[in-house]
Structure formats: C-alpha cells, structure tokens
Structure 1
Amino acid sequence: MDEPFIDEWLPSHHFGQHAPAVTRVAEVLRSSAAQRDREGGTAWHEREVLRDSGLLSLAVPREFNGLDAGWKSILQIVRRLAVEDSSLAHLFGFQHLQVASVRLFGSVDQQAHYLGNTVGRRWFWGNAVNARDTRLAIARTQTGFELNGVKSFCSGARGADMLMVSVTLGDKPTDRRFLAIPTMRQGITVHDDWDNVGQRQTDSGTITFERVAVDHSEVLGPPGVASSPRATLRNLIGQLILTEIYLGNALGALRDAIDYVKLKARPWSMAAVEHARDDGLLQLRIGGMWPQLKSALLLADDALSAFEHAWRLGLDLSAQARGKVALQIAAARLHAGRTALDITSGIFELMGASATTRRDGFDRYWRNVRVHTLHDPLDYRQKAIGQWLLTDALPDQYT
C-alpha cells in the first residue's frame, strides 16, 4: 500500500519489526471501512485478521511469550489503524488496556495465567469497566462472588474470549477491583444494542449479568486501582488511546480530502482555474490544517514518550511525576480532539457537495471523533491544565 502522505506523518519504522503486520492489517481495514461503517454490526472478519496478525500480544512481556513492545509503539499503531478504521483501532487499543490491567493489578500467578493464555490461546479481550455505570452489583458467596446487573459501553465484548469487569468491593476508592472472567460464562449476556452515530463497529453496547459466579482467583490483586501512582497509569493509557484515535481520524480525513481535491473535485466557477487543486482559497484553507495537525502529532508524541518513561519507573513513580505526565497527556488529548473535530468537518469545504455521498462515507471521520470526544469532555482536560497553571494543583490520580 503506497501511502506517501501517511508514511511521512507516521513512518513505518515507528513500528519496528511489527511494521509488515501493521501494514497488512491496515490494508484489510481500509478495503471495506466505509461499507462496514454504513452497515454497523460486528466486524467478525476484521477481528480475526487482528487476531491472526499476532499484534494482540504486543503489550504482553517476553517472559509470557509476548511481543513485549513499548507503549509508544503500541499507541502509534493504534493511530495508524485509526487512519483506516477507527472502530477496529478502538478494539485494538482496548485489547492492550485490558492486558495492562493484568500487568498492573494481577498477582504473579494471575499474570502467568492471563498473559500466558492471551498469547497461547490468542485471546481477544473485551471490557465491562465503565466506572460511571453503577448498575452492576457484586455479593460475596461461600465460594467467591456473584454478579448481578448491567454494564454499558462494553467495547469489544461481542465475540471476545475474556472480559475485564470493574466492581467495588468496599466504600473506599482503593476498593475498586477488576475481574477477569470468560465472556461465555453462564449468566453473561452480551447484547447487540450499540447503535450510535460513530464508532459503529466497536460493539460498545450493554452486558447483562445474572447470577454470574466469580472465583476468588479471578479478582485481580490485591492491591486496588489507586494503591500506587503506578497503578493509576491505567487511566492514562485510556486517555492516550482516545488521543491516538482522534489523530488517526484526522489523518485519514485529510488524506482522503487531498486525494479527492487532486483527482475528483470540480473547481468553483468563481475560482477561474482549470483544476480544483489550483484554487487559492482551497490552498489557503488546507494550508491552515497542516500545521494544526502537525502540532497535534508532535504534542501527542511527546506525551507518549513521557508516559513510556513513567511506565518504566515502575513503583518508583511518584505522585507528582504521575501528575505531570497526566498534564502532558491532557494537553495532547485536548489539542488532538479539537484539531480532529475541525479537520474532519472542514474537509467538506475542500471537497464540495459531491463528496457528501453515503457511498464515500467521508463523514465517518467526524462522527467517530464526535462520539469519542463526548465520552470524557475535553473541557475538563482544559480546566485541569488551567487549574495547574494558576494554582500549581496537579490532576488527581483518578483522572
């Protein structure tokens, strides 16, 4: 796949030895992305392409036979896949978020079991972790625990081998725990009810739990999720995944718009030019998009480097250092989100009315970004940055 525009902005050497697999997956996703976005539902074939690629084990350490890739590389692959298919990039990113949960909270035996099988049995992970949805109750039993209730925004749960589930075992923030359980366990029903305007193949619907038995060994840890600054890095991985999805959509939208203007767009009569690409107003408009996106990419890459360093510090990571990394990520996500919204809507000013067909599906880029930027409002990230600038207060460990 000859992609000079993308290769310039996201060169394949960023992916190291995994570049051929990334390229193959990106080609498959691009070939049907617009059609699948129109259809919605579950991308069964594309999920299997991801599984067969071996890339699902990137975040698994070498001691468990994983690929042991760095977080910067993993998250830039999320960006690359989001250029072609934001939904599958989302599932790919969340796969590694669940793997990170096992690494951060699992005991030695739990890590050996869950990470080893993620590689050996090629597990795909889904999630039921939405902390804002408190409808899932957990009760102690003689043999462990029982789950009853509902979780929403369960991305990737349909067809997943394993589920990461969040519960609260007490009244303190440190009592929040993660459960790792098979998706096909009796009492679990994964509903096909995701019908939002964007991210249409993330399978982010609801799960019903009815008397679902959970063994003590399936509760990760202790410790809980806020037990150390390192443990709270899970939240930051989620923020970075969103950032990379924004950027991938912006890159894909701008690439498609450039190609369209060069090859298909008809010049406006008042432009007095033979080709749309020679229209000075279009040149002016797209010339403003380029530095905006370039600065967002550089800011995101800086945040990825800062996060990689924080991860490698392990338990030596201080609360203050964690807070500063969180600010870098907040700035990157804020700028990426606002930039992506501007570019994914602004491309139509370049391409014209003929580019608004459902067949082309160029609107999917904006719809994807619009949905994701509402999950965790950007205004709160901007406020956190302003609060730090004026009061020196760092973000707390739960954000």
Structure 2
Amino acid sequence: MSEIQIYPGLSDAEFETWAETARDVARQLAATALDRDRANKDPVEELALLRDSGLLGLAAPREFGGAGANLVQALKISRIIAAADGSIGQLIAYHYSNGVWTYILGTARQWEKAARGVGGEGWFQGGVSNPRDQWNEIEHVGGRRFLNGKRTFATGASVAQLITVSLWDNGRRVHYQIPPSRKGISFGGDWDNLGQRLTASGSVTFDRVEVFEDDLLSGLNHYAGDVEQRDGLRVLFSQLIFINFYLGIAEGALAAAADHVRRFGRAWPESGLERAIDDPYHLVLFGRLSAGIAAGIALADKAAALYEDALHAGPSLTEQQWGDLATLIDQGKIIANDVVLDVTTRIFEATGARSTANKYGLDIYWRNARTHTVHDPVSYRAREVGTHLLAETPPRPRSYSQPPKQEGQGLEALPTRKAS
C-alpha cells in the first residue's frame, strides 16, 4: 500500500484524451438534458454512461484499474460534465469527493477496497451524510450493531454501489461504508425539487441495518498528526467540489445563451443594427460574464492544487497552511456562488423574451444553480474570510453538526442505546 501514490496525475496529453472523452459524454447528456430533467427519474442510464466511458475511475490509481488522475484534473472533468447537465456534474463531483473521504477516513485496506471497486469495476460512491440531520440511532445488541432511523436527504445513495453513512454513536461522529443493497435500507424516491432533479436525492430509511467492525472507517484512529485538522479536509473538499460544478453550470449557461443569440436573436429596433450579435450591450454583457467565469476557474484550479498539497502533506501540514487553504476555498466559494447566479439570471437580458419559452429550457441552469447554492449560506464563508483579514484569525476546522439533543439533555456525549 505504501508504494501506491494517491492522485499522481496524468500527463497533459493523457488528460486531453480524457477531457475529450468527457466532452463526448457531455454532448450526449446535453442533447437530452431537458427531457430527462422533466422526467425526473433516477440517473441510472447517466451513471452507466459515466461508467462505460471510464470517467468514474478517473481518479482511482492505475494499479487498481483507474486512470490515476489528480484532483485538479478530476475537478476539471466535473466542470465539463456540469456544463452539460448540472445534476450529473454534481454526481460525478460527489463521487470523486467520496473517494477523498474514504482516503481520509479509512484505513489503507479500506481505501484500497473502495478504490479497486471504483477503478476496476466502475463503482459509483454515494453518501448518507447530511450534517443537518441530527441522528443518534446505533442499536447495540451484545456485540452487534444496527443502524436505525430516517435521513431526510441524501444524494446519489440509491444508485451507488458503496455509500458512506455518517452518524453519531455515543456522542462521537462515526462513518460506516456499506453497500446500499444491505438488508434494511430503503429509499424514499421523494426528490421533486426545483432543480438538480437527476441527482438521485431524497430520503433514506435504515431499519435495523447491521454494520460490522470492518465497515467502520477507522483510519483517523491511527493518524499521527492533528486529527481534527485532517478530518476538516473533508469539509474543505466538499466546498471545493461545489465551486467546480457551480462554475461548470455557469459555463454551460453562457454557452447555451450565446448559441441562442446566434441562432434566434433579433436586433432591438432602437439599436439600428441588423444582427443581435452586434448589439454592444450584448457584447459587454457576455464579456463581463465570461470574465467572471474565467476568474472563478483560475481560483478554483489554484485552490485544488493547494488542496492536493495539503492532502499529501499529512501530519506535516501546519495550522497556518490549513487556514490559508480554507480561506482560499472560501474565496472560491464566494466567487463561484455569485458568478453562477449572475450568469444564469442575466443571460436572459441578451436572449430576450422569446427565450423564456419552455421549449428552449434555458431556465434549467438557474434552477440547478439556485437549488444547490442554498445548500449552505455563502455569507458564512464571506464572514470567515473577513475574520481572517480583519481579526487576523485564520479559519479552523469546522463541522455543521453537533451531537443530537435528546429530551432532558444538552449537547454532551450521549449514551448509546442498548437493547434488552
């Protein structure tokens, strides 16, 4: 295991081949995106397309059947896919993120098992880890453990081959990695939201689902450095994947709007022009929106490269380095959030009233962007950056969840439920 290099990276020529593969997949997804969005079905065929193309195994080591891409390259691929279909862009980004989670949380053996499944068999990794669900339902019966309870929301779990389930056990956050086919797991199929409709999101119910010691991701128990800091890298990577598929959606929206103006645009009578593409207001709008996307991508790629350095640094990563990385990712999140909402809203200034017809479906980009950008309040990321700047206090590892509060109890460590 020690000889396997995690995320070594592809050569420029190798990456371009994979990027062209992603662009081909994206063209297929774009051709049917609106119809599939309206059908609101689980993305089984879409994941099969990603699997058959090899993109699911892109970041798995070559020794395990993958391509050996690094995280910068994997996130670029997620942008290409998100530009065509924001839902599937989110899924592939989450898939890469769950691979990082396994690497951080798991033992070397656990990570290898998952990576071999992804690289060699095309597994899709999902998760049941919504931190806003306060869940403390591990039932201990002798030496056996069972998961009980309902999660209101999870993404990609119902179409995955492996899921990471995060919950509380006796006041301690724990993570189990299990197949979603395990007895007692059921999916509500109740995701019917404004956007990101093809992400296989929705509720998950656990009815005495047995888990075993080998399922418990226990790598941090043996970590030689700052465990809180290492675990905090998971949260940072979650924000980093949001940045990238937001920017991908923005790229897709701007490209679709430009195509619409070229094909259907009509010059406004007061302009004195014959072609909509010559309207100076359109030119300025597209120029500014393009610049915003380009700035966001530059920041996203810089943050991804710095993240890889932090991941590889292991115990040698300093508190200051962690804080600098968190600040950079926060800045990227702010920019990506604002850019994608700006682009997906303002394109209609150029495409015009007729472009709001449902047959064109230009609203899909805004619906997807608006749905996910409320995932967590971007103002808290801006506040964190401002605190670093003014108070000279760098960010520290954070969590969006606390041990669940039970009647008559505070947030202290909770006792494990025991069955008689």
With the length of structure 1 as denominator, give the TM-score of the two structures: 0.91
Cα deviation for residue 52 of structure 1 reads 1.2
CA distance in 2, matches of 1:341, 1:77: 21
| 63-72 or 188-197: bigger deviation | 63-72
Look up the SS of the partner of 1:183 in the other structure. Answer: coil
Partner of 2:179: 182
Distance 2:118 2:303 in 1: 28
* Letter in structure 1 aligned against 2:268: W
- Give a deviation string over 1:183-223, Cα, whole Å, max 9, x none: 11111001110111010100110100011100111010142
2:325 is paired with a residue whose SS is: helix
Give, in angstroms, the shift of residue 111 of structure 1: 2.2
Q: Which residue of 2 aligns with 1:51?
A: 51
What's the CA shift for 1:232? 2.1
Q: Which residue of 1 aligns with 2:4?
A: none
**In structure 2, what is the Cα distance between the partners aligned to 1:294 and 1:65?**
33
> What is the CA deviation profile of residues 268-301 of structure 1, one whole-angstrom value per residue up to 9, with x for unaligned ones?
1222211111222222322322222222222222
In the alignment, is the contact (CA less than 8 A) between 1:13 and 1:19 conserved in 2? Answer: no
**2:360 aligned residue:** 360
- The CA deviation at 1:143 is 3.9
| Other structure's SS at 1:297 match | helix
Post-superposition shift, 1:386? 0.5
- What residue ranges of structure 2 are gaps of 5+ in the alignment? 1-11, 400-420
Contact in 2 for aligned 1:110/1:220 (Cα 8 Å): yes
Distance 2:23 2:251 in 1: 16
Between 367-376 and 99-108, report the one with greater CA deviation. Answer: 99-108
Question: Could you say which residue in structure 1 is the equivalent of 2:107?
Answer: 107
1:209 alignment counterpart: 206
Is the aligned partner of 1:304 residue 2:307? no
Mapping 1:27-42, distance limit 5 Å = 27-42=27-42
The answer to whether 1:231 aligns with 2:231 is yes
Please give the alpha-carbon distance, in whole angstroms, between the structure 1 residues aligned to 2:271 and 2:23: 39
AA matched with 1:103: Y
Contact 1:247–1:336 (CA under 8 A) maintained in structure 2: yes
SS in 1 for 2:205: strand
| 1:95 Cα deviation after fit | 1.0
Aligned to 2:410: none
Name the SS for the 1:361 alignment partner. coil
User: Where does residue 285 of structure 1 map in the other structure?
Assistant: 285
Which residue of structure 1 lines up, in the alignment, with residue 159 of structure 2? 159
Q: Which amino acid aligns with 1:145?
A: R
What count of residue pairs does the alignment treat as equivalent? 385
**What amino acid maps onto 1:179 in structure 2?**
Y
Q: Report the AA paired with residue 192 of structure 2.
A: D
- Tell me the residue number matched to 1:326: 326
| Aligned residue identity for 1:208 | T
Amino acid aligned to 1:283: L
Alpha-carbon separation, structure 1, partners of 2:59 and 2:151: 26
Name which of structure 1's ranges 353-362 and 313-322 shifts more when overlaid on structure 2: 313-322
Change (3 A) 1:279 1:24: closer
TM-superposed CA distance for 1:354, in Å, is 0.9
Question: Which amino acid counterpart does residue 202 of structure 1 have in structure 2?
Answer: T
Q: Secondary structure at the match of 1:206?
A: strand
Deviation of 1:168 (Å):
1.8
Report the CA distance between 1:63 and its aligned residue: 4.0
Q: Percent identity?
A: 36
Structure 2 letter corresponding to 1:205: G
Structure 1's consecutive aligned runs of 4 or more residues displaced over 6 angstroms after TM superposition are none
CA contact (8 A) 1:152 1:204 kept: no
Q: 1:252 to 1:13 in 2, by over 3 A?
A: farther
Query: Hey, what does 1:335 align to over in structure 2?
Result: 335
Q: Work out whether 1:93 is the aligned partner of 2:90.
A: no
Q: Compute the RMSD of aligned alpha carbons.
A: 1.9
More deviation, 227-236/123-132: 227-236
Change (3 A) 1:362 1:274: same
Specify the alignment match of 1:123 in structure 2: 123
Distance (whole Å) between structure 1 residues aligned to residue 253 and residue 61 of structure 2: 35
Rounded to whole Å, the distance in 2 between the matches of 1:112 and 1:292 is 39
Distance 1:136 1:350, change over 3 A: farther
Match for 1:365: what amino acid? Y
Relative distance call for 1:353 and 1:288 in structure 2 (3 A) is: same
Distance 1:276 1:260, change over 3 A: same
Amino acid corresponding to residue 355 of structure 2 in structure 1:
A
Aligned-partner Cα distance in 1 for 2:61–2:168? 28
